[in-house]
Amino acid sequence: MTRALTNRLTCRLTYRLVEERDIPALLRLWEEAGWGTLTEDVWRQWFVETPHGCCVVAVAVDNRGEVVAQEMFTPSLVSIDGREVRALRFSAPIVSRSIRGVSLRHPEHPVFGLYRTAAEAAAAQGFGIIYSLPEHAWLPIFRLVSGFAEAAYPCVEVPLDAHGGDNLFVGRPAEFTDEYDRLWLSARETFPIHCGVVRRHEWVRFRNSGRTAVEVRDASDGSLAGYASVKKQTGLLADVLARRPDELPHVLRTTLRWLSEHGGGLTHLKVMQTPALAAALEGLPSETVDYRFAFTCRALDETLPAEAIAPERWHAMPGD
């Protein structure tokens, strides 16, 4: 009976983009989902004042006019062989308890209505790509939406005491300057990064809010060799970048050294083992843990070939 009632309720949902008057309801949904209390000021910092403008936010409204679900699409820029394309990162939906109970595989689940509403608006606004780093269990749901390609990566743990001596020094960044822009351009060309989120200093500053960020510099001349950011609560490596592939192992080892001294109780670094990071981790002790990362993407721009943004071409990190 509960499932039948919920199905009938979802049939009466309507979908649209967020409006200013919806913000109090969105904050209530955030708290109801168990993600803590969010103030309107913080909501605006996260979802309005991004380096690339406002998020695309879709909402579901029930027959009483109440907002009962929301989905966030955060804007970024993605470099595709040097061409920069406006993109959106698709986050997990937040759904009110009042309409939970419908299977995620059911075509009337709010996630599909929210996605269609946002994707249509995004295409009209000139966004070319949607991507996501969802929980691995969500991949079958993405397969129900035409056009998404996917990849999965293992998670490994590296002990913090597994660092070695390198001619690099590390510390917390005083500020993110245009040095980071030059670092990004060097990495894009030398790795090379065929497809990946553009990591200019404004973006790095925005995405590292609330994370532990460290920068790694050459001891001989003080130049920026790379950086890393870590979710301190979990020890997850959210992002890492080096000027050149041969410097990435040194940036990782130097980050391990800093965390071993300043990690506040962390004992291991968790890493999404992409091919680039697998090569950089060679020679370090690591252990595969029971977790799988997922990545999925699709083109909104019909002139953008699917093979140009195939997952195997991406430089993807959990913090993207």
Instruction: Provide the CA 182 distance to its chain's centre, in angstroms.
Output: 22
More confident residue, 239 or 165: 239
Band (pLDDT 50/70/90 cuts) for residue 6 is very low
**Cβ-count burial of 80 within 10 angstroms (0-12 exposed, 13-18 middle, 19+ buried)?**
buried
More confident residue, 50 or 163: 50
Length of the chain: 320
Band (pLDDT 50/70/90 cuts) for residue 103 is low
**Cβ-count burial of 184 within 10 angstroms (0-12 exposed, 13-18 middle, 19+ buried)?**
buried
**The token pair that represents 291 in the structure block:** 């977790």
Q: CATH number of the domain at 2-127, out of 3.40.50.12780, 3.40.50.2300, 3.40.50.300, 3.40.630.30?
A: 3.40.630.30
The Cα angle at residue 113 between residues 107 and 114, in degrees rounded to 5:
135
Report the distance separating Cα 307 and Cα 260, nearest Å.
41
Report the distance separating Cα 150 and Cα 142, nearest Å.
9
Query: pTM of the entire structure?
Result: 0.91
Instruction: Look at residue 53 in the predicted model and tell me its pLDDT.
Output: 95
* DSSP string covering 252-278: HHHHHHHHHHHSTT--EEEEE--HHHH
What counts of helices (H) and strands (E) characterise the chain?
9, 15
Instruction: Look at residue 7 in the predicted model and tell me its pLDDT.
Output: 47
Q: Is the pLDDT of residue 227 over 90?
A: yes
Mean pLDDT of 209-233: 92
Best-predicted range by mean pLDDT among 11-20, 94-103, 150-159?
Answer: 150-159
Q: Is the pLDDT of residue 131 over 70?
A: yes
Band (pLDDT 50/70/90 cuts) for residue 130 is very high
Find tokens 């996630």 and name the residue: 111
Mean pLDDT of 71-91: 96
Instruction: Look at residue 164 in the predicted model and tell me its pLDDT.
Output: 65
Pairing of strands 94-95, 67-80: antiparallel
> For the ranges 2-11, 76-85, 210-219, which has the lowest average pLDDT?
2-11
> For the ranges 157-171, 219-233, 246-260, which has the lowest average pLDDT?
157-171
Tell me the per-residue pLDDT of 22-61, one tens digit each, with 9 for 90 and over. 999 999 998 988 878 889 999 999 999 999 999 999 999 9
Band (pLDDT 50/70/90 cuts) for residue 146 is confident
Helix (H, G, I), strand (E, B) or coil at 39: coil
Q: CATH number of the domain at 155-315, out of 3.40.50, 3.30.450, 1.10.3470, 3.40.630?
A: 3.40.630
Q: Is the pLDDT of residue 3 over 60?
A: no
Q: Where are the domains of the chain?
A: 2-127, 155-315
In the chain, the percentage of residues whose pLDDT exceeds 90 is 72
Tell me whether domains 2-127 and 155-315 share a fold: yes
Which residue spans within 184-307 are E strands per DSSP? 195-197, 212-218, 224-231, 236-242, 268-272, 287-299
Instruction: Look at residue 4 in the predicted model and tell me its pLDDT.
Output: 42
Helix (H, G, I), strand (E, B) or coil at 28: helix
Tell me the per-residue pLDDT of 290-300, one tens digit each, with 9 for 90 and over. 999 999 999 99
Tell me the per-residue pLDDT of 171-216, one tens digit each, with 9 for 90 and over. 888 789 999 999 999 999 999 999 999 999 999 999 998 899 999 9
Task: Write the CB contacts of 313 (distance below 8 Å, at least 6 apart in sequence).
Answer: 194, 195
Mean pLDDT of 250-262: 91
Q: Is the pLDDT of residue 91 over 70?
A: yes
The Cα angle at residue 228 between residues 225 and 229, in degrees rounded to 5:
155
